[in-house]
Amino acid sequence: MPRLFRVSSRPSATTTFRSLVASAAVASLAACGSSDPTLYTLAPVAGQPSPVLPAVNSVEVRLPTISAGLDRDRIVLSDSGYKLDVASSDAWSEPLASQIAHVLAGELGQRLPGVNLVVQNDAITGAPQAFVELVVNRFARDASGQAILDVQAAVRLANADEGAPFNRRILLSTPAGSGTKGLVAALSALLGQAADQIAAQIRALPPSVMAR
């Protein structure tokens, strides 16, 4: 009669030890890879309220087009020497397009009292009489350590047939402090300067038929 051999389902001590080591290594790698980044946000910069009321009383700031190199969660620290230097542990608190649009809308509202400023896709009532559109080409340090803001800004009436839009390049720079915080502070200041120029374009718009 053949003998029957019982196969044990219990792992050996060696197998158990190897499993524990492997699990610990995986857990360690997961902990290193899941460290939360430091989040940064742009801050609005106060300007001089205009005593001159624009011909329009409602303006929508469109979500800007961000160049592919800048359109990322991690902050681009510099873009010099044919190279992008991207932060390894510093990120924007929200998508850059949304952040720029909301900060700019707040700054324009402060500079243009009496004008209703909204951001594209936000809940609004009524149709805007004019639009602000941006293409952001540079938003980082250059090789000399200057913070650079390079945008194409257009301001137009809601009905394109009512008048040609104001369309101009805004190129601004300022010394950036050290680290990511210094850069973000400098970029915030530059966005405030751009808001001064865009507010002037809004004041120069002709009357909209919707405002008559």
Q: pLDDT tens-digit profile of 88-101? A: 999 999 999 999 99
Task: Report the distance separating Cα 95 and Cα 176, nearest Å.
Answer: 22
**Does residue 163 have a pLDDT over 60?**
no
- Per the structure block, which two tokens stand in for 167? 């369309």
The per-residue pLDDT for 35 is 81
Residue 182 and residue 30 in contact, taking contact as beta carbons nearer than 8 Å = no
Give 185's pLDDT tier (boundaries 50, 70, 90). Answer: very high
**Does residue 30 have a pLDDT over 50?**
no
Looking at residues 183-190, what average pLDDT do you find? Answer: 98
- List Cα–Cα distances, 134 to 9, 38, 39, 70, 169, in angstroms: 67, 27, 24, 14, 10
Q: Output the pTM of the full model.
A: 0.80
**Does residue 3 have a pLDDT over 60?**
no
Looking at residues 140-146, what average pLDDT do you find? Answer: 95
Domains of the chain, start order: 38-211 (3.40.50.10610)
Largest CA distance in the chain: 109
**Does residue 69 have a pLDDT over 70?**
yes
| pLDDT tens, position by position, 109-141 | 999 999 999 999 887 667 899 999 999 999 999
Task: Report the distance separating Cα 104 and Cα 45, nearest Å.
Answer: 9
**Does residue 79 have a pLDDT over 80?**
yes
Looking at residues 136-165, what average pLDDT do you find? Answer: 89
Looking at residues 152-159, what average pLDDT do you find? Answer: 92
**Does residue 32 have a pLDDT over 80?**
no
The per-residue pLDDT for 123 is 74
**Does residue 43 have a pLDDT over 60?**
yes
Specify the higher pLDDT residue, 210 or 144: 144
**Does residue 6 have a pLDDT over 80?**
no
